[in-house]
Amino acid sequence: MTEKSSENYSETQYPWQKSYPSDIDWAESYKGKPHFEILDQAVSRYGNDICSYFLGKELTYSEIGLKANQVAEGLQALGLKKGDKVGLFLPNCPTYIYFFFGILKAGGIVVNYNPLYSIDELEFQVKNSETQYMVTLDLKVLFEKCDALMVNGVLKNTIVATFSELLPTTKSILFRLFKSKELAKISASKAAGQCIAEKTILNNNGTPKPVEINPDTDIAVLQYTGGTTGRPKGAMLSHSNIYINTLQEVKWADKMYGGEKTVIGILPFFHVFAMTCVLNFSVATGSRMVLLPKFEINDAIKLMIKTRPTCMPGVPTLYNAFLNYKNLPIEAVENLQFCISGGAPLPQEIKQGFEKLSGCEMIEGYGLTETSPILTANLPNNPSIVGSIGIPFPQTVLSIRDLDDPTKEMPLGEKGEICASGPQVMLGYWNAPEATEKVFVGKFFRTGDVGYMDDKGFTYIVDRVKDLIICSGYNVYPRRIEDAIYQNEAVEEVTVLGIPDEYRGEAPKAFIKLKAGKKLTAEEMMAFLEPKLSKIEMPEEIEFRDELPKTMVGKLSKKELREQEG
């Protein structure tokens, strides 16, 4: 394989092209457009269809489209200029949808914020991104953090939306009567003069001034990485990056997804996975988005029984939670046409178990914040190759590079760092030219994942470079140990880390959560693993826990376990 610009990809035969389905052209040319056009197209095609379902209240695509236009005009009236940053500090709700597209239409840049961030984490990101406006709800748990940032002089203004107005009339009245303690008293804030009511922003006809957008070079979203090593960095995702990645996903899912289209929005929108696979995918396909502001499995199951979703993007721990739910009502999952798994490696036991439970196909995809996020996926309507993350999306090139010298490409079948180029790869990191330079080799983005590619173009992830355990000079991959442990029917969740070892330098340690009612000792687990792992891969320690730490999106958190071990 050779490095080529996207317009020349079709000149080269890559291994994965022989595996491509006949109805998808890997060399198909995608032209970037201002990303808000997918909402304009949806309004034109599906105007009367339901766009969002939130706690019983529905809004059509026409209603969401009008509000997005009003947001754009209202922000321009405030003085927002092209390239200004607007933060979204919101749970999954309709407010997020129309502000996301309205900001882009006004020429602004969306900066996503995790609602669970501490004040210090928020302060860093506001300063680093140069966020000028923050959009949030009038819920105490959210507003009080924005209030502190304004009082401290970190944040200029906060646009405050009214939570009760997102609810059906009866629920809205009941909420104001019985849950008023959960609402912030905006007028009592020391920074009340810096607060702007959402109704002020929306008080117009929805005719914003057109802004000239160069989709290939203008930033649409600053998406901050998780910060697993050092401070988080803002990936600059252009309009073309997220627009084309959405079109790639829609094309990939075309044969699996038809008829009634309802996407369950359990993943939080602020995360890049949900931004593309729930928000943008739903809008591009005219789907109804069923929004869950906070994941709690009992609430999710009730909502799924009521709304009958046909598509559910999720992380492996989400599917595992359904698998281990006692007496799961089949009505919750029987209408699913397909599921998208991403964010973390998908153990085969979870994939096979959920497919058997639901009767739907589960497609595992792979990508990163820096790639908008999808790079590869397994083939639709085809038996997945066990353990593979699939083949590259159209116009996407994967290259396996030498771990010590990333300028050298590894032969097929040999391990190396997975590198990628394509129209969805970020422009770089915001205000971090040195960090940007480190993660690119030529046109190829260095993912930090170790893997290999077979002669049919299917890629297999071995592990994260940073998770590699150097044990007596040998490379030990935590994922291999985790996959072996998952084969034990008593195990619900597992994470493996490297811990200091006087003799071997590092040694594997396994953290295990057992299924409800199951019992297992460390000695029994070691005996179970003995025929499955080499001596060098055998865990030095096994620790059983009632719960394993997770990120906001639901992935098992090695970062938090490392901190606890440290």
Looking at domain 37-224, its CATH architecture is 3-Layer(aba) Sandwich (3.40)
Domain boundaries, the chain: 37-224, 468-565
Q: Are 286 and 301 in contact (CB under 8 A)?
A: no
Using DSSP, state whether 172 is helix, strand or coil: helix
Give backbone dihedrals phi and psi of 421, rounded to 5 degrees, phi first.
-135, 155
Q: Which whole number is the average pLDDT over 340-354?
A: 89
Look-up: residue for tokens 């602004």? 108
Look-up: residue for tokens 């203008």? 218
Q: Which whole number is the average pLDDT over 53-58?
A: 98
How many Cβ atoms from other residues are within 10 Å of residue 208's Cβ?
21
| Cα–Cα distance list, 436 to 212, 368, 446, 492 (Å) | 27, 15, 10, 38
pLDDT tens by residue, 511-549: 999 999 999 999 999 999 999 998 889 999 999 999 999
If you count DSSP H runs as helices and E runs as strands, how many of each does the chain have, helices first? 17, 27
Question: 12: pLDDT confidence band, cut at 50, 70 and 90?
Answer: low
Using DSSP, state whether 194 is helix, strand or coil: helix
Identify the pLDDT of residue 6.
38
State pTM to two decimals: 0.89
Fold designation for 468-565 = GMP Synthetase; Chain A, domain 3 (3.30.300)
* Residue of 393, 395, 394, 356 lying closest to 378 (CA atoms): 393
Q: What percent of the chain has pLDDT over 90?
A: 82
Question: 36: pLDDT confidence band, cut at 50, 70 and 90?
Answer: very high
Identify the pLDDT of residue 1.
38
* Residue of 414, 403, 407 lying closest to 465 (CA atoms): 403
* pLDDT for 212 beyond 90: yes
E strand residue ranges, 89-208: 109-112, 131-137, 157-161, 195-197
Runs of H (alpha helix) within 152-264 = 169-178, 198-202, 239-253
Same fold, 37-224 and 468-565: no
Identify the pLDDT of residue 3.
39
Alpha-carbon span 451 to 437, nearest angstrom: 22
Share the mean pLDDT of the chain.
93
* Residue of 349, 346, 320, 343 lying closest to 271 (CA atoms): 343
Look-up: residue for tokens 């590092």? 506
* pLDDT for 377 beyond 60: yes
pLDDT tens by residue, 403-449: 999 999 999 999 999 999 999 999 999 999 999 999 999 999 999 99
Residue 21, preceding peptide bond in cis (omega within 30° of 0): no
Look at 9-18, 154-163, 268-277, 464-473 and tell me which has the smallest mean pLDDT: 9-18
CA angle, residues 306, 311, 315, in degrees to nearest 5: 105
